[in-house]
Copies of this chain bind each other. A is one copy, B any other.
Amino acid sequence: MLDKIVIFGVGLIGGSFALALKKAGAVRIVVGMDRSAASLARARELGIIDAAGADMAAALDGADLVLLAAPVAQTAAILSALAPHLQAGTVVTDAGSTKADVVAAARRALGGKIAQFVPGHPIAGRESNGPEAAVDDLYAGKKVVLAPLAENSAADVGRVAAAWSACGAVIRHLSPQEHDKVFASVSHLPHLLAYALVDDIANKPHADLLFQYAASGFRDFTRIAGSSPEMWRDISLANQSALLTELDAYLAQLTTLRARLAAGDGAALESMYANAQRARHQWITAIETAEAPLVRDKAE
């Protein structure tokens, strides 16, 4: 049981964390901090937070756990602002989509208090944002990656893991570097590819004609191009190095595919398509098997 937590950013990610902990009876009081006074007022009305922090010192006083869930571009500024008021008994974690840059920013901002920062990344989201979008089951059955530092104590890592577990999440550990490589591959690159395709089509002179004939396959393929441009600009820059590596591998792959297509090599094309179809089917099957017990729990 946590006595007091502080949420920086009371929207989808932070708000859903607070609601899930409250539902689980795992926290006594939730204090919210947000650039937007309107968001804080709405979060209070919705029962996400119990109080808006008057100032940094008061908000952090006696806190067991702090979650940074504001846009990642604000992470360094928030850490710098909270550092002087961070008490010895408080653990800080975050929800950013990249980890190596967050760790570097945390080292600069927290200095000697770096052991109190346990980097994290919940793998969950929705297209909507803000306090209204927060729900108490956003993390049920979802993965949360923790990327602990050498300086972290087992007890502090355990406190963060226990909070996410109380939200129904499954805890995984990766190093910050492993984390960034994995997500460059399966999340960040697909976002860039979807944005690039829609931008490419939108810039063609006959874009209106093309969009008239786009159907459900196009809708699904480009759904992630509906995401926030600012957020994905920040993620692209924060994970620049790993993303360039993945993008170069993909460009090489497309160049191979182009050569097969230009040569009319149907067997080689079919082999690539079939390998992809098989791998995706195995992945979907593995996911459904892993999620089946959770679905059964919900039905009971």
Q: Could you tell me if A270 and B214 are in contact, using CB atoms closer than 8 angstroms? A: no
Q: Are A213 and B261 in contact (CB under 8 A)?
A: no
B-facing mask of A191-223, CB < 8 A → 1, else 0? 111111111111110010111111111111111
Number of interface residues of A (CB under 8 A): 88
Which listed residue, B221, B250, B279, touches A221 by the CB 8 Å rule? Answer: B221
Q: Is residue A74 within 8 Å, beta carbon to beta carbon, of the partner chain?
A: no
Q: Is the CB of A195 within 8 A of B272?
A: yes
Interface status of A152 (Cβ within 8 A of chain B): no
* Chain B neighbourhood of A255, CB < 8 A: 251
A249 surroundings in chain B (CB, below 8 A): 200
Shortest distance in angstroms between A179's beta carbon and chain B's nearest beta carbon? Answer: 9
Q: Are A253 and B217 in contact (CB under 8 A)?
A: no
CA distance A236 to B265 in the complex (A): 10
Say which one of A7-15, A161-169, A280-288 lies at the interface with B.
A280-288
- A residues with a Cβ closer than 8 A to B are 123-125, 142-143, 145, 172, 182-183, 185-187, 189-204, 207, 209-230, 232-234, 236-237, 240, 243-244, 247-251, 253-255, 257-258, 261-262, 264, 266, 269-270, 272-281, 283-284, 286
